Structure 1
Amino acid sequence: MVISKHNNWNNMAIKRTQLRGIAGIDEAGRGPMIGPMVVCGVLIDEDQLNELASIGAKDSKTLSPSQRLRLRKKIEQISRTIVIRKVSASDIDERRKHTTLNEIEVAEFIAIAKSLKPKELYLDAADVVAERFGIRIGTQSGIVFQGALVVSEHRADSKYPIVSAASIIAKVERDTIIKSYHEMYGDFGSGYPTDPKSVKFVRALVKHNQKLPPIIRKSWDSVRRIVDEESMKQMKLD
């Protein structure tokens, strides 16, 4: 899906000179019950696009940790600007009292788009309607009114190397944070609710009546379910 036009073309050429390069935005850690969500934007000059593709930038989920680390260094060398925004578990919990995770992600994407001001922006859509997501990021960041091209698609990280680059940086950043948490709290796995090690970690804390640390997303259904299950077990024992 492409958004590329704003009807008022007067002064558009002048405004577009304020834009620069090609950018991609993606996130890592939207779904886990432990740890932050990391949103990353990567901006490169147009003449670096082929080089970005040639280094093997692709969907971070298809790469090993060592491959992601190696590619991150190369992406940093090629990039003009990299913007990383980290939304902690406690921040997610607080913001979800008033809004949805989708809206949190929209706000982070908008902030990065405003910062990068690209001529072309490629997004991994965080909405079931990719077009709606692209329209919101493009208009609320203001870049479409300056003549920017915005492309918003599902699985854009597997289609566009510039989005792959953002995906890789975001994933490496989150992995680094999770590793530091392991050093503080022990190895709880990936933090995803499908990871038995992560579930066991949260369940053990609840079972022993320990306060859940701020790295755990207490607003997550999977965490609430564990709390409810352990409470029921305790009630039966009483």
Structure 2
Amino acid sequence: MLIGGVDEAGRGSIIGPMIVAGVSIDESKIPKLKEIGVRDSKQLTSQAREKLYDEIVRIVDYYHIHTVKPTEIDSHVLQKGLNRLEARVMAQIISKMMVDEVYVDCCDTNPERYKEHIIAHLKSTSHNLKIHSMHHADSINVVVSAASILAKIRRDLEIQKIKKRYHDIGSGYPSDERTMIFIRNWVQMKKTPPAFARRSWKPLRIILENMEQKMLL
């Protein structure tokens, strides 16, 4: 039996893409993931994640990583549809994995509703698939943990690309003052946010609104 796990990284970031990753693995090989130390990516150092990435890719039967760009995120946030966007991307990944059973990390307050959103985007050939929509699945289910590590590593690589060109952008999250200083300085100089920032996020909307008000004075 093939078991799948799907998770994301970077959902709450104000800079860079959201990464959604899925892995599928034969049920008999799941203990191998535990043996190499796979667990929720947030509980691991960056060095540990990097080491586990290659081992996970070697052990699993299939993996797929999808990048959701800031512009796509913005278009869905404006329609209050970020959860639906994430469900659609997860469904696309699940369709590729051809699993018998899959566990997904649920971003919705209602796991059953999120499961239905995923099912709505799945092909009819997946009607026998068993889906488990769970809060904190990345810390409960080791297959989802493996997916979380792949997503986090890819997300970190995307941030490193931006840092290489623009230097000190912080972590990319709105709670990071270095990140917000970088964005405020960018908007002040260029009168527009960077293309890799999510302008639908409230902190950036406020910065843009303040800039527009000053220009009207």
Question: Please, what TM-score do these two structures have when normalized by structure 2?
Answer: 0.92
How far 1:230 sits from its partner (Å)? 4.2
Specify which of 33, 36, 48 is matched with residue 14 of structure 2. 33
Residue in 2 that maps onto 1:224: 205
Contact 2:84 2:117 in 1 (8 A): no
How far 1:213 sits from its partner (Å)? 2.0
Q: Deviations over 1:131-155 (max 9, x none)?
A: 2212332453147954222111100
Say which one has the larger Rg.
Answer: 1
Structure 1 portions without partners, runs of 5+: 1-19
Specify which of 100, 104, 107 is matched with residue 126 of structure 1. 107
Specify which of 70, 74, 95 is matched with residue 93 of structure 1. 74
1:107 aligns with 2:62: no
Specify which of 126, 150, 157 is matched with residue 169 of structure 1. 150
CA RMSD of aligned residues (A): 2.0
Separation (CA, whole Å) in 1 of partners of 2:206 and 2:185: 14
Residue in 1 that maps onto 2:38: 57
Contact 1:33 1:217 in 2 (8 A): yes
Classify the secondary structure of the residue corresponding to 1:105.
helix
How far 1:185 sits from its partner (Å)? 1.6
Classify the secondary structure of the residue corresponding to 2:38.
coil
Give 1:187-198 correspondences, 5 Å limit. 187-198=168-179
Separation (CA, whole Å) in 2 of partners of 1:23 and 1:142: 16
Separation (CA, whole Å) in 1 of partners of 2:125 and 2:4: 14
Question: Please, what TM-score do these two structures have when normalized by structure 1?
Answer: 0.85
Residue in 1 that maps onto 2:61: 80
Separation (CA, whole Å) in 1 of partners of 2:210 and 2:169: 20
Contact 1:138 1:144 in 2 (8 A): no
CA gap of 1:195–1:73, structure 2 versus 1, over 3 A, is same
Aligned pair count? 217
Contact 1:43 1:118 in 2 (8 A): yes
Residue in 2 that maps onto 1:150: 131
Q: Deviations over 1:61-104 (max 9, x none)?
A: 11111111011111001011111110111222234455511111
Classify the secondary structure of the residue corresponding to 1:189.
coil
Classify the secondary structure of the residue corresponding to 2:24.
strand
